[in-house]
Amino acid sequence: MIFPIAISLALIYVELRNVSNIYQRFNIIEIVDDINLLLLELRRYEKNFLLLIEEKENLRLFHDTIEVVRTKTKSIENEIVLRTNTGYYFNLMKNVDLYEDTFGALVAEIEQKHRLMEEIRPLGEEIENNASDKSMALILRKYEKDYLLNRKRNALDKVYDVSNALIKSEPDIKQAVGIYLKTFDEIVKHDAAQIDMLQKMRTCAREIEKYTTGFSSKERAHINTVMINGERAFLYAALFIIFSTVAIGYMVSQNMIRVMRQMEHAFDKISEDTFSHVITTNAPDEIKSFIGAYNRIISKLNFNLKDTTKKITAADQTLLQKQSEILSKNTALRSMSIEILAMVKEKPLNIAETRIKLLVLDVIKTASDMYRNVSISSNIAQLPDKLPVDDTLVGLALYNAIVNALHFTPYGGKVVVTGTMDDQNAAIFISDTGPGIAEDIAGKVFDPFFTTHEDAAGLGLTIAKAAIERHSGTITVDKTQPGGGTTMKILLPFLK
């Protein structure tokens, strides 16, 4: 139970650490909200200045406020860059700077325009005083005020029309009217520039608001995600503890049942005179001492059995080593091989329940010691535990077949011994990676004295065949392919 509880607490701890970051996120959102409120203040100071050009206090407040916006934005620079990118922060600050610079240019335009408006009044009065047609001069002044004070577009065209008419009708005031029109043109140009700058400022303000609002939305979305994940973490932790409790209870009960079945199986093995089955399992403390006592007795019996088996195996290995020594002496090789063949054919069978797997492994070890430049492996788990055979003759047959495979396997090659069984036979396959057997000689390999090597007697496989056939079994070339190796197949029936 400690393990699932520890995992659940770790999961909750991780989510609580994420929740602790929410406070920092709220501080950032608060700063962003302050920036948005300051933007509203800036727009108010901007409008106040446009309406009250002489109110210089609004100009000072505007610059002070935008400096606060810049300071607050820089205070969360790292968070903006971390959660968005460098370009996002750069564009935000770029729009803040552009907004202030445009406002400064707008102030200059407004001040220049007001200076021109102050200059145009005496020019208009001069035209009014010197014009012979006072009514036309008054009409000019009326349209001038309609445009300058009320921004009437039709008044703009009327000012030009009346001015041109005065120039044509009264040449004496042509110069004064020309100066008047030039000044009026400058005012119109500054009006157009002022409109463009106002539009540019509105665009900058909207961009600043877009970036701050977008970043605030990201922070709020992250907070919502953390809260949802936290709720899920608590729910998953609770469910994990519940399911873990149920699972552990089930595994404990299954473990008890498994231990009891293993004990039952162990006692069955004892009744079959098998002393190698040791119980290896986690069991409750109540029966651990009993299992320990059982394992100690089985281990002692198994040790005695292995010692006896080793002595028997040593005797068999002595026989195999004797054959190896005989084969090494080329002059006496054939005669001694004939004797062995005769022994195999005439020796009374000593059939006994033989641990066939152990016999195969012992033969593999003996053969591999002679051919260390070739690797040999086995896969005999599917062979029966015991087989009624004469272990000496079967061991001799296996040895000859395996040595033959090793002998024809080149340096660095490998030999694999595989075991299977069906309802009637145990099958042993000996596969090598040698050059294979040509088709024209595949049927001769078991013939007496047939060999392709001068230093061999040609009776190894003949002896193996005779030994296997004494057990009503067979040894055949299962498959061979030039350059692809050869597989020998040995079938040993379950004799009754």
- Longest Cα–Cα distance of the chain, Å, equals 161
Domain range spanning residue 40?
A: 2-234
Tens-place pLDDT, residues 222-237: 778 777 776 777 777 7
280 in a domain, yes or no? no
Arithmetic mean of pLDDT, 424-445: 88
Q: Answer yes or no: is pLDDT of 207 > 70.
A: yes
- Give the mean pLDDT of the chain: 80
For residues 153 and 27, membership in a common domain is answered with: yes
125 in a domain, yes or no? yes
User: 197, 216, 234 — which closes off a domain?
Assistant: 234
For residues 324 and 178, membership in a common domain is answered with: no
8 A C-beta contact, residue 406 and residue 432 = yes
254 in a domain, yes or no? no
For residues 347 and 226, membership in a common domain is answered with: no
| pLDDT value of position 379 | 95
SS3 49: helix
For residues 195 and 337, membership in a common domain is answered with: no
For residues 204 and 335, membership in a common domain is answered with: no
CATH of the domain at 336: 3.30.565.10
271 in a domain, yes or no? no
Residue with tokens 């660095």: 412
CATH of the domain at 54: 1.20.58.920
Phi/psi of residue 378, each to 5°? Answer: -140, 155
215 in a domain, yes or no? yes
User: 219, 234, 249 — which closes off a domain?
Assistant: 234
SS3 378: strand
For residues 330 and 461, membership in a common domain is answered with: yes
For residues 331 and 183, membership in a common domain is answered with: no
Structure tokens that stand for 403 in this block: 């040595």
310 in a domain, yes or no? no
Q: Domains in the chain: how many in total?
A: 2
Structure tokens that stand for 212 in this block: 């701050």
Arithmetic mean of pLDDT, 128-137: 85
User: 234, 254, 274 — which closes off a domain?
Assistant: 234
For residues 190 and 50, membership in a common domain is answered with: yes
Q: Answer yes or no: is pLDDT of 102 > 60.
A: yes
Phi/psi of residue 470, each to 5°? Answer: -60, -20
For residues 207 and 346, membership in a common domain is answered with: no
Q: pLDDT over 70 for what percent of the chain? A: 77
167 in a domain, yes or no? yes
Banded pLDDT at 457 (limits 50, 70, 90): low
| pLDDT value of position 453 | 66
For residues 194 and 320, membership in a common domain is answered with: no
For residues 216 and 92, membership in a common domain is answered with: yes
In terms of pLDDT, which residue wins out, 479 or 288? Answer: 479
Q: Answer yes or no: is pLDDT of 143 > 60.
A: yes
194 in a domain, yes or no? yes
